[in-house]
Structure 1
Amino acid sequence: MIRLRLRSFASPASLALLAAMASTASAQGSIGSQGFGYPVGGGSIRTNGTGGAFAEFDALTPTNPAALGGIARTVITAQAEPELRKLTVNGVSEKSTLQRIPLIMLIFPARHGVAVGLSATSFLDRTFSTTTTGSALIDGKTVPTTDQTEVRGAINDLRAGAGWQVSPRFRVGIAGHLYTGENRATRERTFADTLAFGSVLDSSRVTYFGTALSVGGEATLGKGFTAMASYRRGNELNARVRDTVVSTASAPSRTGVALRYDGIVGSVFAVGLEQISWSDMASLGSANSSSTDAMNWHAGAEVAGPKFRGLPLLVRAGYARNELPFGVLGQIAKENRLTAGLGVPVAGEDATLDLSVQRANRTMSGSGFKESAWLLGIGVQIRPRN
Structure 2
Amino acid sequence: MMPATLHVLLRRRALAPSSRMLAVALTTVAALLPSQLHAQGTISGLGFGNPINGMSTRSSGTAGAFVEFDALTPINPSAIGGLSRTVLSAQVEPEHRTLSLGALREKTSSQRIPVLMVAFPARRGVAVAFSARGFLDRSYTTTTTGSAVIDGRTLPTSEVLTMRGAIGDIRGAVGWQINPKFRVGLGGHIFTGDNTAARERTFADTLRFGSTLDSSKVTYIGTAISIGGEAQLFKGVSATLSYRVGNGLDARIRDTTRASGSVPARLGGALRYDGIPGSVFTVGFEQVKWSDMQGMSSSRTIAHDAQNVYAGAEVAGPRLRGYPVMVRAGYARNQLPFSISAEQVKETRFGGGVGIPIGRDAASIDFSIQRANRVLNGSLAKESAWLFGAGIQIRP
Q: Which amino acid aligns with 1:381?
A: Q
- Which among 234, 242, 248 is matched to residue 246 of structure 2? 234
1: CA distance, partners of 2:220 / 2:317: 45
1:2: Cα distance to partner? 1.0
2: CA distance, partners of 1:183 / 1:60: 28
Identity of aligned residues (%): 57
2: CA distance, partners of 1:84 / 1:145: 31
Unaligned 5+ residue runs, structure 1?
A: none
1:15 aligns with 2:24: yes
1:89: Cα distance to partner? 1.2
1:311 aligns with 2:323: yes
1:380 aligns with 2:380: no
Q: For 1:200-239, what aligned pairs fall within 5 Å after superposition?
A: 200-239=212-251
* Structure 2 length-normalised TM: 0.95
Match of 2:111 in 1: 99
* Cα pair 2:362 2:394 within 8 Å, conserved: yes
* Cα pair 2:38 2:106 within 8 Å, conserved: no
1:376: Cα distance to partner? 0.3
1:215: Cα distance to partner? 0.2
1:260 aligns with 2:272: yes
Q: Which amino acid aligns with 2:287?
A: Q
1:57 aligns with 2:69: yes
* Cα pair 2:26 2:166 within 8 Å, conserved: yes
- Which among 132, 138, 141 is matched to residue 126 of structure 1? 138
- Which among 3, 6, 10 is matched to residue 9 of structure 2? 3
- Which among 161, 174, 177 is matched to residue 165 of structure 1? 177
Unaligned 5+ residue runs, structure 2?
A: 1-6
2: CA distance, partners of 1:138 / 1:295: 52
Q: Which amino acid aligns with 2:213?
A: L
2: CA distance, partners of 1:97 / 1:145: 27
1:84 aligns with 2:96: yes
1:247 aligns with 2:259: yes
Match of 1:300 in 2: 312
Q: Which amino acid aligns with 2:300?
A: N
2: CA distance, partners of 1:131 / 1:246: 28
Please report the RMSD computed on the Cα atoms of aligned residues, expressed in angstroms.
1.1
1:174: Cα distance to partner? 0.4
* Cα pair 2:31 2:339 within 8 Å, conserved: no
Deviates more, 1:262-271 or 1:324-333: 324-333
For residues 41-78 of structure 1, the C-alpha deviation after alignment (integer angstroms, 9 at most, x for no partner) is 11111011111111111100101000010001000000
Secondary structure, aligned partner of 2:53: coil
Q: For 1:274-353, what aligned pairs fall within 5 Å after superposition?
A: 274-353=286-365
For residues 61-105 of structure 1, the C-alpha deviation after alignment (integer angstroms, 9 at most, x for no partner) is 101000010001000000110111111112111112211011100
Q: Which amino acid aligns with 1:16?
A: A
* Gap change, CA 1:339 and 1:162, over 3 Å in 2: same
* Cα pair 1:19 1:36 within 8 Å, conserved: yes
1:114 aligns with 2:120: no
1:189: Cα distance to partner? 1.1
- Which among 362, 370, 384 is matched to residue 382 of structure 2? 370
* Cα pair 1:50 1:299 within 8 Å, conserved: yes
Deviates more, 1:87-96 or 1:312-321: 87-96
* Cα pair 1:22 1:28 within 8 Å, conserved: no
* Structure 1 length-normalised TM: 0.97
1:47 aligns with 2:59: yes
- Which among 58, 81, 103 is matched to residue 69 of structure 1? 81
Q: For 1:147-158, what aligned pairs fall within 5 Å after superposition?
A: 147-158=159-170
1:253: Cα distance to partner? 0.4
Secondary structure, aligned partner of 1:279: helix
2: CA distance, partners of 1:318 / 1:242: 44
2: CA distance, partners of 1:127 / 1:26: 15
How many residues of Structure 1 are paired with residues of Structure 2 in the alignment? 384
2: CA distance, partners of 1:256 / 1:316: 21
1: CA distance, partners of 2:341 / 2:145: 24
Secondary structure, aligned partner of 1:281: helix
